[in-house]
Amino acid sequence: MRAKAKRTIHEVLKWSPHCREHYFPWRSVTAGTNATDCISEGGVTEACRGYELGRIYPRSHLLLYTTHGSGEVYTERDTFAVRRGQVLLLPARLNFGYVPAEKFWRFVWFHLPESELWNTLKSGGVLLRKTLLTERIEAIADALIVESRGQSESHRGVVRLYAQLFVAYVERELLAHPSSVQPGMANRLDQLCAIVTADLKRPWTVEALAREVRVSAPYLYRLTKRHLGGSPMGLVTRLRMERAQEMLVMRSAKIADIASKVGYHNEFAFTVAFKRFAGVTPSKFRDFL
């Protein structure tokens, strides 16, 4: 990032013939769910030379993942180079703009509403850091675009499931936002998610989770309750179910094998837990695909 003299930003959208915009049918597939409290809309932009977007006092937070090329994002004071492998968060009501830094810049973007869920983002400033979720976000975005072209209830069901994955990943991404968690706790929660995801088969307990991040079990419970809205074991279940959903997309994987890989000793226990989490059984989930 390089400091610059204050610049004037205008509300603008410049388009070139080779640019493309793919909007997710977010509102139609998430109507009546709490997904809209997390994400209000999203899409994929393919920007070429000549493209520019400027926003004055936007009413939503912007979350952006670069999947190809690079871009230049500017505020009134600063300019940021945004590349693949990074996540960018611009808080609501901050004037900003962006242009491609190369001939072609492709990115997935989400608008996050000024809901109670994201209250802490208002005063956090611009966030630009490395992320491990780019490939997953890109894959889901591409698959969602393809499925959204279908007209059947099966297609709509798959789109809803992909939307649910987006919500889960966005919430996971922002757990480490410095303004939403006390200093030092962000790294511990992020670290805990990474440790559990890397060893989902392990018979986790609250005490084992607490040891991994060097806090007491009661303190870990208070921490997850306050910042994640649930218990430590609820976090483990969520991470297991998210991974199970990813594996169910691969039809060659047997449900019993998936159950074992995410920490369940038998298919029945896994099916009960999956239905409680996703609202459908694993086999029904796969039927939607």
For residues 267 and 255, what is the distance between their CA atoms, to the nearest angstrom? 7
Q: What is the pTM of this model?
A: 0.63
240 neighbors 262 (Cβ within 8 angstroms):
yes
Q: Is position 87 within any domain? A: yes
Interval 121-154: pLDDT, tens? 876 688 898 888 899 999 999 999 999 998 888 8
What is the C-alpha separation between 85 and 178, in angstroms, rounded?
Answer: 19
Could you tell me if residue 178 is inside a domain?
no
Q: Are residues 97 and 197 in the same domain?
A: no
Closest Cα partner for 258 from 289, 231, 285? 285
**163 found inside a domain:** no
pLDDT at residue 12, as a whole number: 93
User: Domain holding 56: CATH number?
Assistant: 2.60.120.10
Structural domain of 123: 2-135
Residue 220 sits in the same domain as residue 125:
no
Looking at residue 39, its pLDDT comes to 93
User: Which of 96, 116, 135 marks a domain boundary?
Assistant: 135
Taken in order 71, 73, 78, 82, is the CA torsion positive or negative? negative
Mean pLDDT is highest, among 8-17, 105-114, 245-254, 270-279, for 105-114
pLDDT given at position 55: 95
Residue closest to 54 by CA, chosen among 19, 20, 88, 12: 12
Dihedral, CA atoms, 151, 153, 156, 160, nearest 10 degrees?
180
Number of domains in the chain: 2
* 95/78 Cα distance (integer angstroms): 11
Same domain? For 130 and 247 the reply is no
For residue 52, give the nearest of 87, 16, 82, 22 by alpha carbon: 16
Instruction: Indicate whether 167 belongs to any domain.
Output: no
Is residue 1 over pLDDT 60? no
pLDDT tens for 186-207 read: 567 777 888 898 899 999 999 9
